[in-house]
Structure 1
Amino acid sequence: MKSVADARRVRMGERLRALRHAQGLTLVEVAARSGLAVSTVSKVERGLMALTYDRFAQLADGLGVDVAELFSEEGSRFQPGQVAVARSGEFAEHVTENYVYEMLFADVWNKAMVPMLGTLQPSERMNFDRFVSHSGEEFVMVLEGRLTVTFEDRPPLVLEAGDSVYFDSNRGHLYASAGSEPARILVVCANVDAP
C-alpha cells in the first residue's frame, strides 16, 4: 500500500514530466541544464526519489520555472501589491529521507522568498551524504524543540525554541533535531536574483 508521501512523490514526478514535455525537453537536456544526473531526473519523474531543497531548486532552474511550480499545477505569478494568505494546514508537503517540508504558498509563483515549515528528526536517525547548498540567503527559526545547524566550515550551532539564524545559503549546511524528539522549524529561502 502506497503512503501519502509516496503518492506526493509520484505526483511531483508527473508534474516534472509535464513541465519537461511542455518545453519539448529530453531527460538529458533537463539533466544538463540543472546539473543533475540523468538517472536522478528519471528517478524523480518516476516517483522513486525525493530531492532535497537544493536539488529541486536546481531542477526548477534547469526547467526555467519557479520552485513552487514543481509543487502546484495551478498558480500565478506574485504581483506588486498582492496579498497572499496561507491558512493553517494549507501547504504542499514534500517528504525526503531526512526532512518533511511543508511548502507554503505553492500556488504563488516567482516569489522573492520561499517560505516553508519543516520537521526534523534527531541527527542519529538522519542519513546525510553531503552538505546542502544553493544560491540565495536563508532564515531559520526554531518553533519547537532544539535544532542543530551544521555548516561545513564551522562548529555545529545549537538553537533553542525561539532562536533563529540568517546565513548565505551558498555555505554548505545541514539541519537536525538537537534532542531526542523531532524539531519544528520555519525556513525562508530568499532568492536574491528574483525579478
Structure 2
Amino acid sequence: MSETDPKQLIKIARENGAEEFAEPLDLGSRVRDLRKARNWTLEQAAQQAGLARSTLSKIENGQMSPTYDALKKLAVGLDISVPQLFTPPVKDQINGRMVITKNGQGTAHATTTYEHELLADGLTKKQMLPYRARVRARSIDEFDGWVRHDG
C-alpha cells in the first residue's frame, strides 16, 4: 500500500462516503467480497494480511469481531484504507453515461507548477483521468526535471 497520510484517507472516505443514513454494512461479507474480487483463496488473503486463516474465516462468517489491529492488517493486506472496509462497494456504472463538469466546478488540485481541475468526478471506473491544467510556472527553471509516467 502506498504511503499516504491517514488523515487524508479519512477525509477522502468522508467526502466519498455514502449517504448520511446508509444501510448497515456486513463486515464479513465485505471482506469476503474484497477477497474474491482479487481471486484470492482464504489462505492467500490471510497470508497477505498476516492473519491466521481461521481468524479470517471467522471474520468473514461473522463469528468474530476483529480488533482494530486485525482491521488494520486486513486493510494493508487488501491494499485499501481501514475506512474502505466499511464503505459499501460502488455499483458498476452503465456504459455511455455522461457527466458534465462546469468550468471551475471540478475538484481542484494545485501543485507548485500547475493548477489541475479534475473533470467527470461522478463517473467511476474511467479508462482515463480527464482534467484541465493551467500552468502556474512562469519560467522553465521552476520545473523540477521532466514529468514522466507509464502511459
TM-score normalised to the size of structure 2?
A: 0.42
Indicate the structure (1 or 2) with the bigger Cα radius of gyration. Answer: 2
**Greater helix percent: which structure?**
2
**Greater strand percent: which structure?**
1
TM-score normalised to the size of structure 1?
A: 0.33
